[in-house]
Amino acid sequence: MNVRLLGLVMAFGLSIPVAQAQMLQPGLWELTSSNMQVDGNQLPDFQMMMGQLKTMLTPEQLAQLEKQGINMGGKGVRVCLTPEQVKSDSIPLTDPQSGCQQQITERSGNQWKFRFSCPKAQGAGVATFASDREFTTHVTGTFNATGLKQTGSMDSQAVWLGADCGTVKPRA
């Protein structure tokens, strides 16, 4: 997998909107992505890309990701949300040090529209909440992972796996 694919996955894939306390359950969540495109070209399957990423990273790099609350397991990326994070209006699914900001622009029923801005990516999306244990997002935007501005889009699904986060540490 090249750097720009990783940039798209990290910029868009973790740009999940914040949610209010009554919208999500605390515990272990798994995020998967599909229909990823860059400049109109379909990217490889998310699970294939995650498998390649796991083989490219050293054990030390994987341990560092886990310290940051990112665990690659199951079918995607797993994150742990504490009850305190769910009760706040700011659930940190992205690295707090990343410089990314998100803003809900419209709430209508079970759909929320949002914008995000990161140092090397910006865009907008829609989150659709099926329940407090599952939601999907569609994100479009631009990113600059390697010095070349590109456009991209992707769909994501987040599924609650249970109240026990096991070995996955919450994001700080």
First to last CA, the chain: 29
Q: What is the pLDDT of residue 19?
A: 45
DSSP 3-state of 143 = strand
Domains of the chain, with CATH numbers? 3-162 (2.40.128)
The three-point CA angle 25-111-42 to 5° equals 95
pLDDT tens for each residue of 52-104 = 776 777 888 777 777 766 677 777 888 888 888 887 755 555 556 677 888 88
Closest by CA position to 152, among listed 16, 47, 38, 52: 38
pLDDT tens for each residue of 101-159 = 888 888 888 888 889 888 888 999 998 989 999 999 999 999 987 788 999 999 999 99
Cα distance between residue 119 and residue 122, in whole Å = 8
Q: At 54, which amino acid appears? A: K
